[in-house]
Structure 1
Amino acid sequence: MVKYLGVLLIALSLSACSSNNDWRTASREPAGIAPSPDEEKSAVIEFYAADAFSWRGWFAVHTWVAVKEANATKYTVYEVTGWRVKRGLPALSEYTTTTPDRYWFGAKPEKVLSVIGPRAETLIPQIRDAVKRYPWANEYTVFPGPNSNTFPTWIGLQVPELNLDMPFSAIGSGYADND
């Protein structure tokens, strides 16, 4: 009984410490760290990480990739989310936006990697090709993966010129080696 009470107290404590208890009202505003497509005319590649939603953010991050071709007015964002699979959709999604750096349900993103200019222009087609070949586009498993951290890591392995170094808390990134 005491053992279960301790586990309950820890769980309640962790959930009380989270500022992201309601995903419906958590911020999804732009963080202001992505180059504006109106101002940056060069090609851009951005990899982002933000604390995972709710108490999970104490241990793990959610990561995603954004690319913008030279002179493009919007970014294309690629990310993997588990809720899509639960709805019968592919885990991997693609959408366009002028703000690829939105808060991840209350958590401010940080740049993991940023490439701007001719090098980005050369690497974007390779990234797009790798996205098409992602082997777990319809799968999501929190641990050990494939998950939102497996996807950018896999892209980095397919395009080694990116020299992508994922955060330590990108749980599931090691699953990308299972290809």
Structure 2
Amino acid sequence: MFMRLMRLALAAFFLVFLLPLGAHALMWMTHEHPQSWSRADWTSSGLLPAPVADSPAVIHIYAARTGRWKGAVAHHTWLVVKEAGAAPYERYDKVGWGSPVRRDGWAADGRWYGNMPELVAAIEGEAAAALLPAVRAAIADYPFREQGHYRVWPGPNSNSFVAHVIARVPQLGVALPPTALGKDYHVEMVYAGFAPSGTGFQFALGGLFGITLAWVEGLEINLFGLVAGLDLRRPALKLPGFGRLALV
């Protein structure tokens, strides 16, 4: 009986985690990608309009594939905020060099390592204005903001930073892409509590293993940082490498 269960578990791991990851990696390798940081395009993607006098307050979350081979597996995520009116956009990333929490290191809607960003969440107008103080406070109290407080895998990394802000401000109602590796990394080695959205629960072990069941995040199973699952609110599959695949 035990051996049968083990074989079923290994088959499920191969079909749900390794097979999609390998398939996406093969697809990724068929496209050309910048071979160095200096050769990549970091310019504005044109997604954000220039601020004018009647521009609303903004809280946006963006994601773009990471550079070189890592792009087959993971996205980099960042925050963009703006006060109402002609105030400039402010971009916040966590990076692995210099001061980890970087403000305005790149254009607010800039490409990441040449990869086009996608809008993960947009809160605008009065709702954004009401949440901006809490978002700024969450950015300021991020615990891993000193030099050396960065680890590509399993975290804390760029996605751990954005997930921290979302968890501190659950009114944002945001679920990061399943390919935001590091999003399930917590200060505590063993975490059991609310999911970042506050709409369900999460158990996580060092960012390497875990399960999330929540209305916003859906069902997510984390194995070694790779996430697979199902979104019932907006029907979709969540697969390693591919990320979120809408069913409708």
Q: CA RMSD in A?
A: 2.3
Q: For 1:128 and 1:106, locate their aligned partners in 2 and report how far apart those are by CA, in whole Å.
A: 28
Question: TM-score by structure 2 length?
Answer: 0.60
SS of 1:46's equivalent?
strand
Show structure 2 runs of 5+ residues with no match: 1-24, 192-248
Asked if structure 2 preserves the Cα contact closer than 8 Å seen for 1:77 and 1:94, the reply is yes
Q: What is the match of residue 31 of structure 1?
A: 45
Structure 1 residue 20: deviation in Å? Answer: 1.8
Counterparts of 1:23 and 1:96 in 2: how far apart (Å)? Answer: 14
CA distance in 2, matches of 1:14, 1:46: 27
Matched-pair contact (CA < 8 Å) for 2:134–2:169: yes
- Residue 164 of structure 1 aligns with which residue? 174
List 4+ stretches of structure 1 deviating above 2 A: 13-18, 176-179
Q: Which has the higher strand share?
A: 2
The count of aligned residue pairs is 162
How far has the Cα of 1:83 moved from its partner?
2.4
Match of 1:102 in 2: 110
Higher helix fraction (1 or 2): 1
Cα distance in 2 for residues equivalent to 1:21 and 1:39: 41
After superposition, give the CA deviation of every residue in 1:95-136 in whole Å (9 maximum; x if it has no partner).
Answer: 387x41000020100011111100000011110001111011
Match of 1:126 in 2: 134
Q: In the alignment, which of 157, 162, 186 is matched to residue 176 of structure 1? A: 186
Give the greater-gyration-radius structure (CA). Answer: 2
Which residue among 20, 23, 33 is the counterpart of 2:34? 20
Q: Would the alpha carbon gap of residues 60 and 101 (structure 1) be closer, same or farther in structure 2, given more than 3 Å must change?
A: same
Listed one character per residue, the Cα deviations across residues 56-100 of structure 1 (whole Å, up to 9, x for unaligned) are 00000111001000014311111100122xxxxx21111387x41
Residues 39-118 of structure 1 aligned to structure 2 (within 5 Å): 41-84=55-98, 90-95=99-104, 99-118=107-126
Partner of 2:214: none
Q: Deviations over 1:34-75 (max 9, x none)?
A: 243137611011101000011100000111001000014311
Q: Which moved more, 1:14-23 or 1:137-146?
A: 14-23
The match for 1:5 is none
Identity percentage over the alignment?
A: 35
Instruction: Name structure 1 gaps, 5 residues minimum.
Output: 1-10, 85-89
CA distance in 1, matches of 2:173, 2:36: 36
Helix, strand or coil for the counterpart of 1:129?
A: helix
Q: Secondary structure at the match of 1:114?
A: strand
CA distance in 2, matches of 1:64, 1:172: 13
